[in-house]
Amino acid sequence: MGLRAYVVRRVLQLIVTFWAFFTILFVLFRMMPGDPTSMFIMDGMTPEQREQRIAELGLNEPLHVQYVEYARQLLRGDFGQSFIYRDPVIDIIAVRFMNTIVLMGTALLFAYLIGITFGAIMGWWRDSRFERGGIIVTLVARSSPEFWVGIVLLSVFVFWLGWFPSSGMRTTGGELGGNFAARYGSVDFLRHLFLPALTGAIAYLATPTLLMRSTMLDVLNADFIEIKKAEGLPERTVLFKHAARNSVLPLVTVMAIATGSAMGGSVVIETVFNWPGMGREMVNAVNNNDYPLAMAAFFLMGSVVIIMNFVADLAYVYLDPRVEYE
Amino acid sequence: MTLLDINGLKTYYRADNGWVRATDDVSLSIDRGETVGLVGESGSGKTTLAKSIIRLLSDNAEIVDGSINFDGTEVTELSDKELRKQIRWSEISMIPQNAMNGFDPVYTVGQQIVQVIRHHEDGTSKKEARERARSLFDELGIEPDRVDDYPHQFSGGMAQRAMIALALALSPSLVLADEPTTALDVVIQDRILDTIKEMQEELNSAMIMITHDMSVVSETCDRIAVVYGGRIVEIADTETIITNPRHPYTLGLRNAFPDINDDDQELISIPGTPPELVDPGEGCRFAPRCPFAEQECWEETPEAESYGDGHAVECHRADEIDHLQEEAGKKETWTEQDLGRPEDSQSDQPEEVMLDD
């Protein structure tokens, strides 16, 4: 089977995955105890008012009608209206979603770039002080809770050294640029981004580092490494072009999966650094039974994971010629 | 004309309980264009000997003594950089046992040949290097277009041919072939050996053929060195080793391989296992498995004795050749011997050595 057929098949699988994901999401939310009016009972809502509100929101319809209606909306790219804010969900969530993506994307990028490089060198210098020290540092980073790392970074770099701003995404009163580049490319933004992204990077560093190290140890035993050395190639070429290049393959899949946990785990970092991301919004939406908002949030985050896996599969074909399209 | 002159080489591995003497006081010299076979069991040190020549040793290995003179250059004294530039692949290349694993799986075979050519020859363009890879393929009987294939797309025999192309890409003066045909079936084995011979004669490269297969060496080699316990116990031209060996171990090896002309031949294996090479102590290392071991063999390491025409043997009883050859052909000579040191001799080795296995 050719590459094209493979891609087509993977795209079809992608669509099925999306459908299954959406359905499970829908059912899960309707199965949760409570409904959007639970929050207002304290305000002295009468049962009639409550019924009326439920009817307004369309929640008195049979489930399958709600399901079809929601699916139709989603296909049009419409996430509906928030029950609580009474604004279109897309307005509430789009910017926050981008903020989270930028934050966690940066964190993951650094974690994987640093992790892969250091893991490769740790494997290459097996039994060295560098390797032993590296493992300890990695495990400490891995075991430290994100909120604690965040607070330590804050107290050192903000309150003690005063190098970075303490919270938020940009200085108050700063110009909010209209386009993407102005919004996420300004020096002010990058200064705000640095500490929360570093916190995330520290938390996610261990997986790529340790995995890279252990696959390196495997790959370094392969005959071709010895042949490459015998060919008289410089160490750096053998290390990066051959050993690390082969060891990086399993990390592609792991990185796709890590994106998911990073998306979900962003809430802690967003809280510590007061980052206007989606994590906190999502938690509030679930607590309020704000179905459209919560579902949209979950849907977007889940989509990131599904799409990352898709990208990883395609990247794998490019990175490893042995992959069969079957 | 001597190409490689190894003298008193000792390559040891560090282990928890001391030095493993994988190559212990080995001397060997090889002429230009000559093929020398290193024959011995697994763990006898033949691969360590070959890898010492290009210093391709693991981190726990060390050349503790001896000299390796390659074409006037003392290999043991070169810096890593000089070694990579002057010796590795441009002068000495190798063919590994399993070619499929000898190529990096994520690059095409052509890319890997081009890489090594361009690394050693500044100024060679990618296109020229690629053309050379294609013509090498052609000479070795592989479709030239297959340079763009990945290693996993080759069959075992084809991969081995591609590996030979890689090994000969820079016309080295010495090729180290480490059991180059062991992973292949017998029919292909034969063709690959023929190909290696042809190419080698064309380039006038010398070769060290490492194998435990007597039939492979007898077909390809000018001379054979029999390696046991980290030492060359017997070396001579191929004819002599096959027809007139003097070392009991060589006699035993010969028994263990079938002769295609002799239907009734019974294969006789050498009982016991190769020796521990940590602190082997005095005495002949083959003595524990040797049916002809005498008191002297246990106490004194035999020196190499010359028997003319480059035939050297490390055995105290090599003079008794007629007796040995006759006895060694009988099965009961090997099966009915007592393994290990006889009771009556003074033991300076603790008994639990035997329990280690």
Q: What is the ipTM of this complex?
A: 0.86
Q: What predicted TM-score, i.e. pTM, was given to this entire model?
A: 0.80
Statement to judge: residues A168 and A296 lie in one domain: yes
Statement to judge: residues A11 and A66 lie in one domain: yes
- List the beta bridge partners of residue B14: B19
Statement to judge: residues A143 and A252 lie in one domain: yes
List, in order, residues 6 or more apart from B296 with CB less than 8 Å away: B316
How many whole angstroms separate alpha carbon B128 and alpha carbon A142?
A: 50
Nearest residue to A92 via CA among A309, A280, A310: A280
How many whole angstroms separate alpha carbon B153 and alpha carbon B146?
A: 9
Statement to judge: residues A229 and A267 lie in one domain: yes
pLDDT by residue (tens digit) across B87-108? 999 999 999 888 888 999 999 9
Last residue in a domain, options A19, A40, A75 = A75
* Residue from B87, B104, B108, B113 to probe the interface with A (highest A Cβ count within 10 Å): B104
Give the domain range for residue A158. Answer: 93-319
Q: Are B284 and B315 in contact (CB under 8 A)?
A: yes
Q: Predicted confidence band at B348 (pLDDT cuts at 50, 70, 90)?
A: very low
What is the pLDDT, as a whole number, of residue B314?
93
List, in order, residues 6 or more apart from A110 with CB less than 8 Å away: A197, A198, A201
What is the pLDDT, as a whole number, of residue B313?
93
Of B96, B98, B104, the CB nearest to A242: B104
What is the pLDDT, as a whole number, of residue B120?
93
B96 contacts on A by Cβ (under 8 Å) = 223, 226-227
Of B54, B85, B150, the CB nearest to A230: B54
State both tokens at A24. 């499970």
Statement to judge: residues A70 and A103 lie in one domain: no
Nearest CA distance, B174 vs chain A (angstrom): 13
What is the pLDDT, as a whole number, of residue A226?
92
Statement to judge: residues A279 and A156 lie in one domain: yes
Q: Is residue A300 part of a domain?
A: yes
For tokens 């002949």, name the residue: B284
Q: Say yes or no to pLDDT of B253 above 50.
A: yes
Statement to judge: residues A144 and A23 lie in one domain: no
Of B85, B101, B150, the CB nearest to A223: B101
Q: Is B90 on the interface with A (CB under 8 A)?
A: yes
Last residue in a domain, options A16, A48, A75 = A75
Q: Are B99 and B105 in contact (CB under 8 A)?
A: no
Residues of chain A with confidence (pLDDT) below 50:
none
Q: What is the mean pLDDT of residues B294-307?
A: 89
Q: Say yes or no to pLDDT of B122 above 70.
A: yes
Residue A250 burial class via C-beta count within 10 angstroms: exposed 0-12, middle 13-18, buried 19 and up: middle
Nearest-by-CA chain B residue for A230: B88
How many whole angstroms separate alpha carbon B128 and alpha carbon B124?
A: 6
Q: Are B44 and B25 in contact (CB under 8 A)?
A: no
Give Cα A234 to chain centroid, integer Å.
38
Strand, helix or coil at A167? coil
Statement to judge: residues A71 and A169 lie in one domain: no
C-beta atoms of A230 and B105 within 8 A:
no
Number of structural domains found in chain A: 2
What is the pLDDT, as a whole number, of residue A35?
64
Statement to judge: residues A117 and A196 lie in one domain: yes
B166 contacts on A by Cβ (under 8 Å) = 227
Strand, helix or coil at B281? coil
C-beta atoms of A222 and B106 within 8 A:
no
Q: Is residue A18 part of a domain?
A: yes
Of A231, A237, A321, the CB nearest to B106: A321
Q: Is B29 on the interface with A (CB under 8 A)?
A: no
A321 contacts on B by Cβ (under 8 Å) = 105-106, 108, 150, 152
Nearest-by-CA chain A residue for B95: A227
pLDDT by residue (tens digit) across B257-288? 776 666 667 778 888 888 888 878 788 999 88
Q: Predicted confidence band at B215 (pLDDT cuts at 50, 70, 90)?
A: confident
Statement to judge: residues A182 and A264 lie in one domain: yes
What is the pLDDT, as a whole number, of residue A92?
82
C-beta atoms of A322 and B152 within 8 A:
yes
pLDDT by residue (tens digit) across A78-99? 887 777 777 888 888 888 888 8
